[in-house]
Amino acid sequence: MKPASKKDILQILNDQKEIFGDDLFITKDELLSKSKTEMVKEKKINYVVEKIETSKLNEEPVLFNVNNDKISAEKTDWQLAGTLDNLNKLICNCTKCKLHLGRNKFVFGSGNPDADVMVIGEGPGAEEDKQGLPFVGRAGMLLTDMLKAIKFERDDVYIGNIVKCRPPENRAPLPDEMDTCLPYLIKQIELINPKLILCLGLIAAKGLLKRKESLTQLRGKIFEYGSSKVIVTYHPAALLRNPHWKKPAWEDLKMFRKLYEQV
C-alpha cells in the first residue's frame, strides 16, 4: 500500500474532526505509524481507532492510547448515536458485564422515541429475555393496566430498564452491573428527552437517581433528572406479590398523571 502523504493525513484529520468534533479518532489503516508517532508527540491526536467494517458495526471500536495499548474509549460510537435504533445497533452485542453470558436477547427498550413519558424498570425477566422486549411478562401486563388507568397507552410511552440483560434466576442486578449499563440508559434518556420519568421500584430509583433512601422515603416526591421530572412507585412485580401496595401505588400514579398535566 502506498504510504499516505501529509496532505492526505490532514484531509483525514479534518474529515474526522467534522464528525467527532475535538475528539479526534483516526483509523489505524489511515495513518502511517511514523506520522502517528509524530502527531501523538505533538498531542494532535489522542486515540487511534481500528477501522470498523460495516459488518462489525455492532461491535465496540477498539481504541489505542498514545503508547498503542488497547484502552476503553472516552467517546465511542454508541455515545455519538443520534437515534435510538442506531444506539441499539451499536450496543446490542455488549459484553461489558457478566450478564451478557446468560443473555438470550438484549432488551434495549421499546415504545415511542418521542415520548413525553419514560418508564424505567429494573431489568429483563425470563419472558423479556426470550422476546427481547421490556415488560412483556406478568409484571408487564400489570404495567400496561397501570398505564391505562392513568390514560396512557403503552405505545405512547417509552419503556426501558436499568440493565439490558437478564440477571440469572431473576436476582436483582448487582451494583457493578447497574453502573456498567447505566450510561446506555442515560443516552436513551438524552435521545428521548422525556418530560416525566416513572421509576418502578427501588432498584430503578436507586440506579437512576443515585439515592440511598428507602422506597417509602422516595415515594410521593418529585425528583429531577436533567430536564425530566421523576416520580418513584412500586415495581409491578412487587404489586403482584403484595396486592396491599396497590392502593398506595394508585396514589403515586394519580400524582404522576397530575404532574404530566402540569408540565
Q: Does the footprint of ligand URA cover residue 123 (CB under 6 A)?
A: yes
| Segment contacting ligand URA by CB under 6 A, of 18-26, 62-70, 115-123, 239-247 | 115-123
CA distances from 253 to 121, 195, 220, 247 (A): 15, 15, 10, 10
- What does the DSSP 8-state code read for residue 134? S
| Segment contacting ligand URA by CB under 6 A, of 77-85, 136-144, 187-195, 223-231 | 136-144
Identify which of residues 111 and 137 has a Cβ nearer to ligand URA in the complex: 137
Burial class (CB in 10 A: 0-12, 13-18, 19+), 92: middle
CB of 83 to ligand URA, least distance (A): 21
CB of 54 to ligand URA, least distance (A): 31
| Segment contacting ligand URA by CB under 6 A, of 29-37, 119-127, 213-221, 240-248 | 119-127
Identify which of residues 49 and 181 has a Cβ nearer to ligand URA in the complex: 181
Q: Does the footprint of ligand URA cover residue 124 (CB under 6 A)?
A: yes
Residue found under cell 415511542: 112
Q: Are 231 and 198 in contact (CB under 8 A)?
A: yes
| Segment contacting ligand URA by CB under 6 A, of 4-12, 127-135, 188-196, 222-230 | 127-135
Q: Count the residues of the shown chain that bind ligand URA, applying the rule CB under 6 A.
A: 13
Closest residue to bound ligand URA by CB = 121
Identify which of residues 13 and 231 has a Cβ nearer to ligand URA in the complex: 231
160-179 residues near ligand URA, rule: CB under 6 A: 161
Output the nine-digit C-alpha cell for 228. Answer: 425530566
CA distances from 123 to 20, 54, 99 (A): 32, 30, 11
CA distances from 71 to 15, 74, 75, 76, 179 (A): 23, 9, 12, 11, 19
| Segment contacting ligand URA by CB under 6 A, of 48-56, 129-137, 146-154, 177-185 | 129-137
Q: Are 188 and 115 in contact (CB under 8 A)?
A: no
In sign, the C-alpha dihedral spanning 124, 129, 132, 133 is negative
CB of 178 to ligand URA, least distance (A): 12
